[in-house]
Amino acid sequence: MEQLVTIELFGQPYTFKTESDVSKAEEVAEYLVEEVTKIETQHSKISSNVTKLTTLILAALNIANENIELKKTQSDLLKDISKRSTNLIRAIDAAANIESLKQVDTRNI
């Protein structure tokens, strides 16, 4: 079910529809507002000639960069977990094989 979410950006309200959970949509929208505010604060110290479009593009680039970095970190973690799991399984299998060999040896005595 579509629901409406409103955010304030550049002093103006913007309303959009969402089919996802409203609280999640509000969290995403608030993240954008925070990033835009951060860009505005950074650039107000440098120049007052930064347009709204430029601010939005810089905010989008920052968010995209963060997303790419998080995806790489997640990928690296998954590779590390996979490698460690494989090593752990091999160690368990090796220990189980040694134990079963010991049981065979004691039965033959």
pLDDT one-digit tens code per residue, 49-87 = 889 999 999 999 999 999 999 999 999 999 999 999 999
pLDDT one-digit tens code per residue, 1-29 = 789 999 999 999 999 999 888 899 999 99
Q: What's the whole-model pTM score?
A: 0.73
Query: How many CA atoms lie less than 13 Å away from 77 in the CB half-sphere?
Result: 6
CA distance 78 to 85: 10
What are the residue ranges spanned by the domains of the chain? Answer: 3-107
